[in-house]
């Protein structure tokens, strides 16, 4: 499951504003802000945010997936 820091990083990398992400994910801007602050959020909300960001080109890296330090993160998908 993604965390607030990953959502925040993906949104920034994609140059999306909080309100834009909220509209695309059909949640309130306050919900996006709470999620990014690692406050409590339900799995449905996290899933909606993740799907929108992935559709826009973000790729979430879980701990244990190949990356330089092995920690969770975000990267932009390579252009095809």
38 confidence band (pLDDT: 50, 70, 90): very high
Q: What is the pLDDT of residue 1?
A: 82
Of the candidates 23, 3, 11, 5, which has an alpha carbon nearest to the alpha carbon of residue 57? 11
The answer to whether 76 and 58 have CB atoms below 8 angstroms apart is yes
Q: Is the pTM of this model over 0.85?
A: yes
Q: Kindly state the average pLDDT of the residues 57-72.
A: 74
Bridge partners for 74 per DSSP = 60
Tell which residue, 59, 61, 65, has the closest CA to residue 79: 59
Q: How far is CA 65 from CA 6, 33, 38, 39, 61, in A?
A: 14, 27, 22, 25, 6
């Amino acid at each position: 499951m993604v965390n607030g820091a990953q959502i925040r990083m993906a949104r920034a990398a994609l140059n999306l504003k909080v309100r834009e992400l909220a509209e695309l994910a059909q949640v309130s801007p306050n919900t996006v802000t709470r999620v990014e602050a690692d406050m409590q959020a339900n799995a449905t909300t996290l899933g909606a945010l993740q799907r929108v960001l992935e559709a826009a080109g973000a790729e979430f890296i879980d701990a244990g997936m190949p990356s330089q330090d092995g920690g969770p993160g975000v990267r932009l998908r390579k252009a095809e």
